[in-house]
A and B are shown apart, each in its own frame.
Chain A
Amino acid sequence: MSATHIADTGFFVALGQPTNHRYRRVRTFAERNEIVFLIPERVYEELTEPASETATIDIAIEEGWVIVSESLDYTVPLVSKTMDGVQRYIANADERPEDEIERADAALGGLAAKVLAEESASSVYIYTPDIAAGEGVETVLGSQGYKDSITFVNAFQFIDELMD
């Protein structure tokens, strides 16, 4: 089974425009390794909100190295359990009530859970600059028995290292 690579809004913001070196370097890496980054719907919405100048993400999708996931099925126990857990983790990180945490923050975890529950990949990587979200997904899915399958990748570190 192959790996699934899930990326957050900040990963694409850090890449900049398609003419940017960082964008092209990551695209080359993805194409060379036949990686297609999967993004939750909410991430796509954030990246294409009306205020954004150009939807770079649409170009990446057209180029074939990014794909938007289907809607999450909350009736899958692992999905809902993971999303609740991640929401709680982020709330605890800043000592605030859970209802102040956006469901979108948990969507990365929900998508990772979906992939693992469907057994469509044996390992899942989450690329985000939001450490609280990345560590939250790792912790929650780790406690569900997926410790060896889930990895939070620091988006900035990953891109910087690729640029070296």
Chain B
Amino acid sequence: MSRSTDRATGDVVREFLSVADLLEEPRLAQLYAYLIRDGEATVQELMDTLDLPQGTAYTYVNRLSDAGVIADQSETQPISYMANEIDLTVTASDGTREYRITPVLIDAVGRRATDEDIDTYIDRHGIAGLATAINYAVDRERGSVTHRVMARDIDISPLAAEIILQALRPIVHEHYDIEPAGASLDDVVAAEDLAVDDETVNE
């Protein structure tokens, strides 16, 4: 049984609303994603790493903490915070479509502030569209789909599919175990006796 089903309805609604906030605010999503990736951090560490002003950092931490998506770890000062795992399944009202809100999705949303390709994709296809793209990105890295399969399925151009798959690739590799595949530079260089010069290319 999933975490969300064995809790009181009020808690689920509260969590959903706070998660909806996370998806609306890339900076908030970024903070949550940082805690999911790096374990725990103090407000000072969050300020330094995410380049947040002190007031904003405290506001964010308090909001996420009140909502129950992060929790403080120690009674001692300074308090460090840790993220609670989020896994919500959202079903469209017609019941035909559903997507999952996971830490990976929140991480991807958090990067729209710094990644133009992710930002553009969300503008065009929404958060639900991004959730779908993440599924394709995981499957692509695992070798079960190609960018053209994705393009055909969701009716976008192969180039647009390739661009979002590449933007999501680092996130997929951070959250999932992906087996390496294919030959490397060394394999090609050794087999063909090629030169790899280390000279810096002139501007």
Indicate if the CB atoms of A10 and B166 lie closer than 8 Å: yes
A29 touches B (CB below 8 Å): yes
Given A9-B147, A135-B143, the answer on whether A29 and B196 have CB atoms closer than 8 Å is yes
Task: Select B144's contact among A3, A93, A156, beta carbons within 8 Å.
Answer: A93
Indicate if the CB atoms of A105 and B149 lie closer than 8 Å: yes
Indicate if the CB atoms of A9 and B159 lie closer than 8 Å: yes
Residues of B within 8 A of A96 (CB): 149
Residues of A within 8 A of B201 (CB): 21, 24-25, 27-28
Looking at the assembled complex, report how far the CB atom of B132 sits from the nearest CB atom of chain A, in whole angstroms: 15
Looking at the assembled complex, report how far the CB atom of A106 sits from the nearest CB atom of chain B, in whole angstroms: 10
Looking at the assembled complex, report how far the CB atom of B137 sits from the nearest CB atom of chain A, in whole angstroms: 11
Cα(A21)–Cα(B202), bound, Å: 10
Cα(A24)–Cα(B203), bound, Å: 9
B119 touches A (CB below 8 Å): no
Give the number of chain B interface residues (Cβ < 8 Å): 40
Cα(A26)–Cα(B43), bound, Å: 42
Residues of A within 8 A of B139 (CB): 94
Indicate if the CB atoms of B157 and A132 lie closer than 8 Å: no
Cα(A21)–Cα(B163), bound, Å: 18
Residues of B within 8 A of A104 (CB): 148, 158
Indicate if the CB atoms of A51 and B160 lie closer than 8 Å: yes
B184 touches A (CB below 8 Å): yes
Given A28-B201, A47-B159, the answer on whether A158 and B184 have CB atoms closer than 8 Å is yes
Given A10-B162, A21-B201, the answer on whether A130 and B188 have CB atoms closer than 8 Å is no
Cα(A131)–Cα(B141), bound, Å: 7
Cα(A94)–Cα(B152), bound, Å: 14
**Stretch binding the partner chain, chosen from A66-74, A76-84, A110-118, A147-155:** A147-155
Indicate if the CB atoms of A105 and B184 lie closer than 8 Å: no
Looking at the assembled complex, report how far the CB atom of B202 sits from the nearest CB atom of chain A, in whole angstroms: 8
Residues of B within 8 A of A135 (CB): 143, 181-182
Residues of B within 8 A of A9 (CB): 147, 158-159, 162
Given A21-B201, A125-B188, A154-B183, the answer on whether A10 and B147 have CB atoms closer than 8 Å is yes
**Which of B146, B157, B192 has the largest number of chain A CB atoms within 10 A?**
B146
Indicate if the CB atoms of B146 and A90 lie closer than 8 Å: yes
Looking at the assembled complex, report how far the CB atom of B105 sits from the nearest CB atom of chain A, in whole angstroms: 21
Indicate if the CB atoms of A130 and B146 lie closer than 8 Å: yes
A129 touches B (CB below 8 Å): yes
Indicate if the CB atoms of B184 and A154 lie closer than 8 Å: yes
Cα(A108)–Cα(B180), bound, Å: 21
Indicate if the CB atoms of A153 and B143 lie closer than 8 Å: no
Residues of B within 8 A of A152 (CB): 181-183
Q: Could you give 21 example pairs across A and B, Cβ below 8 Å?
A: A25-B201, A49-B157, A49-B159, A52-B159, A90-B149, A93-B145, A102-B149, A102-B151, A102-B152, A125-B183, A131-B140, A131-B143, A131-B182, A132-B140, A132-B144, A132-B145, A133-B146, A134-B182, A151-B191, A153-B182, A156-B169
Beyond A10-B162, A13-B159, A125-B188, 4 extra complex contacts between A and B, CB < 8 Å: A135-B182, A151-B183, A153-B184, A153-B185
- Report B's interface with A, CB cutoff 8 A: 139-149, 151-153, 157-160, 162-163, 165-166, 169, 180-188, 191-192, 194-197, 199, 201
- Report A's interface with B, CB cutoff 8 A: 3, 9-10, 13-14, 21, 24-25, 27-29, 32-33, 35, 46-47, 49, 51-52, 90, 93-94, 96, 100-102, 104-105, 123, 125, 129-135, 151-154, 156-158, 161-162
